[in-house]
Amino acid sequence: MRSRAAGGRFWRFLAEQGRLPPRLGGLILVLSSNVGCGGGSSGASAAGGTNGTAGGSAGPAGATGAAGQRGSGGTAGVVVAGAGGQSGRSGDNTGGSVAGSTGGGAGGQAGATGGTPDAGTTLPDLVTSGPNAYWNAQATLTKVTTGPADLIVDESTTYQRFDGFGGCFNEMGWDALSVLNPDQVTTALRLLFDANVGANFRYGRLPLGASDYSLSRYTLDDTAGDFSMASFSIARDRQDLIPYIKAALQIRPDIHLWASPWIPPDWMKDSSGNMKSDAQTQAAYALYLARFVEEYGKEGLKIEAVHPESVRPQQAAERPRLW
C-alpha cells in the first residue's frame, strides 16, 4: 500500500530531523478527525534506470557526506564512508546524484538515476511511536492463523466511489515546518501530497477562523455587532495558513479545498455559548461564510464546499449550535 509506506516515510523523515516534539500536533495532525475522503487510484509509476554507484571512500575520521540531490525518479546513490568516517545521507527516493564530501577522503561518485521508487523497501508489519521512541519498527505483531476473522473483505462487492484521503491545514503545521530548511519542507510536503512518492492526499480542510491547532484564538470578524462584515479580514490567515496551502498546491495543484468553522465570532453567541437564532445574526453568519469563500478566491484559492459548523458527534443531535 503506497499510502502506508509514504505516510510512514513522512513521520520517519520528521523524526530524523528531530522536529516531532513538541509541535507534532500541528504538523498536519489532520490524520485523525479531520479526514476527507472519496475514490479512484493513481496510475503506476514508470520504472527508472539502474541504481547509482557507491560513493568513494572517506578519509580517517571523515565528516558526514552531503545529502543527495533529487532527480527525476528512482533511488539515489549512497555515499559510503571509509574507516573512521561517517556515511553521507542519501537523497530521497526519487533518484538523482549524491554529493560525497567526506573528511580527508575523496568525495563519493554521483549516483546514476535509480530504479523504481521504493524498490527493495520492506515495510514493517507494525510500527509504534511515542515520546523519544519514534518509528519503532521492532514492535511485536501476533498474527492469528486460526479461528473466525474479525473482518472479512469481499472484493467482489463495491459501493460508492472512493477518491482519496486528506487532512486539515492549520497554523501550527506551518509553524512546525518553518524550522526546517526549504528542501526539507518540500520533502515533507511531497511525502503528504505527491501521488508517486507520497501519501497522495487529495483533500484539504481549512479552519474558518481558529481551530484546535491555531497559534491563538481568533475569528475573521471580532468586531461586535458587525452584521455587514465591514471588518471581515483574512489578514491573519495570510501569515501562516495561506502560505501552507499554497506550498502544498505547488506539490499537488488539484487539491480539493473545503472549510468549516470551529467557532463563530463570540458576538454571534448568547451567554450560554449557543449560536443566536435571530434573523439578523443568522444572516450575518451566512455572510461571514460567503466572505470567506470570496476572499480566498482573491488569493487564487477555490473553496469547493463550506460546512456551517464543526462539533463533536455526540453534540450534533442535541446541541447543534453550541460552541
Cα 187 from chain centroid? 11
Ordered by start, the domain boundaries in the chain are 52-119, 166-316
Angle at 209 between CA 203 and CA 212, to 5 degrees: 75
Q: State the fold for domain 166-316.
A: TIM Barrel (3.20.20)
Peptide bond preceding 22: is omega within 30 degrees of 0, i.e. cis?
yes
From first to last of its 323 residues, the chain has per-residue pLDDT tens of 444 455 555 555 655 555 443 343 344 333 333 333 333 333 333 334 444 444 444 444 444 444 444 444 433 443 333 334 333 443 343 333 334 443 444 444 444 444 444 444 577 788 888 888 888 888 888 888 888 888 888 889 888 888 899 999 999 999 999 999 999 999 999 999 998 888 899 999 999 999 999 999 999 999 999 999 999 999 999 999 999 999 999 999 999 999 999 989 999 999 988 889 999 999 999 999 999 999 999 999 999 999 988 765 445 444 444 55
Half-sphere exposure of 7 (CA within 13 A, CB side): 16
Q: Which residues pair with 259 in a beta bridge?
A: 206, 306
